[in-house]
């Protein structure tokens, strides 16, 4: 994983700052960095989003393809995740170097989407046992500047919000053979309800306090962190401890409280940004990587 090497003096500087609720870039312990979100950046996907959180840069593309439902859930579609740790982020990821981190992120994403409430998978079913929509959610990591998980979850939520799946109808003739007809109007499409899609909040324990949205430098000072997935109502849907250090139960509960609080504000801010962008419609000037 991309990391930086810090000297002992630099670490002390960061840890002491955090003790006083003042971080190297001037933020408090519960503040996020300035986040940029833009949707609809790759035109040959069903939905896409780019998120820039400090130096962390994530691009997510969602492609809807037709497939067959899984045997155990014949009336639901499903999501497939893939994370590509591109060599753009760091030369360590060249060749197969990024696979380990990629798999770790993919597994986390599967876990936070595995509960039935995050997305209505029934709406992705076309006809039970035969056809359903499969949403391929492909995450591309372009630059690592700390706090990957949070940035990825924001980008995935934004991309799913942007996803438009064409409407199809199933026509059945007298002999019982089925035919799928695609709507002629390209604007006739299904949108997903992403209200219940959780976001990941990672809290890093540094010294005796914890911070949200740690930079690479701060991650180097932290021995352990707690990954929480929080919904817009502040419900926890998944929790995981990361890192080589250990945490005591008391601090875990404190971190959960902070996570819920920060998660709620994050959801509100994200929803507001996405709706604002949506309201601009086609008049919006697309910035992409040119701005």
Among 79, 101, 112, 144, binds other proteins (CB under 8 A): 144
Among 58, 119, 140, 227, binds other proteins (CB under 8 A): 140
Contact flag: residue 166 with other proteins (CB under 8 A): no
Among 86, 115, 196, 273, binds other proteins (CB under 8 A): 86
* Tokens, residue 177: 């053979």
Give the separation between CA 20 and CA 58, rounded to whole angstroms.
31
Residues in the chain: 291
Residue 288 CB, shortest distance to other proteins, in Å, is: 8
Contact flag: residue 186 with other proteins (CB under 8 A): no
Residue 30 CB, shortest distance to other proteins, in Å, is: 25
- Three-state secondary structure of 103-133: HHHHHHHHHHHCCCCCCCHHHHEEECCCEEE
Q: Judge whether 17 and 221 are in contact, CB under 8 Å.
A: no
Number of other residues whose CB lies within 10 A of the CB of residue 195: 14
Beta carbon nearer to other proteins, 59 or 227: 59
Beta carbon nearer to other proteins, 3 or 117: 3
Contact flag: residue 94 with other proteins (CB under 8 A): yes
Helix (H, G, I), strand (E, B) or coil at 80: strand
Contact flag: residue 132 with other proteins (CB under 8 A): no
Give the separation between CA 270 and CA 36, rounded to whole angstroms.
10
Q: Judge whether 85 and 103 are in contact, CB under 8 Å.
A: no
Among 3, 16, 55, 110, binds other proteins (CB under 8 A): 55
Residue 241 CB, shortest distance to other proteins, in Å, is: 28
Residues 271-290, mask of contacts with other proteins (x by CB under 8 A): -----------------xxx
Residue 260 CB, shortest distance to other proteins, in Å, is: 32
Stretch that binds other proteins, among 52-60, 222-230, 236-244, 246-254 (CB under 8 A): 52-60
Residue 253 carries which DSSP code? H
Contact flag: residue 62 with other proteins (CB under 8 A): yes
Helix (H, G, I), strand (E, B) or coil at 62: strand
* Tokens, residue 36: 């940029």
Residue 143 CB, shortest distance to other proteins, in Å, is: 5
Beta carbon nearer to other proteins, 96 or 244: 96
Among 21, 65, 172, 275, binds other proteins (CB under 8 A): 65
Kindly give the pairing relationship between strand 209-212 and strand 199-206. Answer: antiparallel
Give the separation between CA 220 and CA 14, rounded to whole angstroms.
10
Give the separation between CA 264 and CA 24, rounded to whole angstroms.
25
Residues interacting with other proteins, by CB under 8 A? 42-45, 48, 55, 57, 59, 61-63, 65, 82, 84, 86-91, 94-96, 136, 138, 140, 142-145, 288-290
């Amino acid at each position: 994983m991309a990391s930086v090497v810090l000297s002992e003096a630099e670490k002390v500087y960061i840890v002491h700052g955090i003790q006083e609720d003042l971080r190297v870039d001037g933020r408090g312990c519960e503040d996020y960095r300035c986040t940029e979100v833009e949707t609809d950046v790759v035109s040959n996907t069903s939905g896409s989003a780019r998120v820039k959180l400090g130096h962390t840069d994530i691009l997510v593309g969602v492609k809807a393809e037709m497939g067959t439902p899984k045997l155990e859930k014949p009336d639901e579609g499903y999501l497939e995740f893939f994370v590509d740790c591109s060599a753009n982020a760091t030369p360590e990821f060249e060749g197969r170097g990024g696979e380990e981190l990629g798999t770790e992120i993919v597994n986390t994403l599967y876990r936070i989407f595995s509960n039935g409430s995050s997305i209505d998978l029934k709406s992705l079913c076309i006809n039970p046992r035969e056809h359903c929509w499969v949403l391929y959610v492909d995450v591309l990591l372009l630059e690592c500047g700390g706090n990957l998980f949070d940035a990825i979850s924001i980008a995935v939520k934004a991309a799913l919000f942007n996803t438009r799946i064409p409407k199809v109808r199933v026509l059945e003739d007298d002999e019982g053979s089925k035919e799928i007809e695609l709507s002629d109007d390209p604007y006739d499409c299904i949108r997903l309800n992403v209200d219940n899609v959780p976001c990941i909040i990672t809290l890093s324990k540094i010294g005796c306090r914890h911070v949200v949205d740690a930079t690479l430098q701060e991650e180097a000072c932290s021995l352990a962190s707690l990954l929480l997935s929080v919904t817009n109502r502040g419900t926890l849907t998944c929790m995981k401890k990361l890192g080589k250090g250990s945490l005591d139960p008391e601090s875990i509960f404190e971190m959960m409280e902070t996570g819920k609080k920060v998660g709620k504000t994050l959801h509100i801010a994200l929803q507001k940004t996405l709706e604002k962008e949506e309201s601009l419609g086609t008049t919006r000037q697309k910035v992409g990587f040119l701005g």
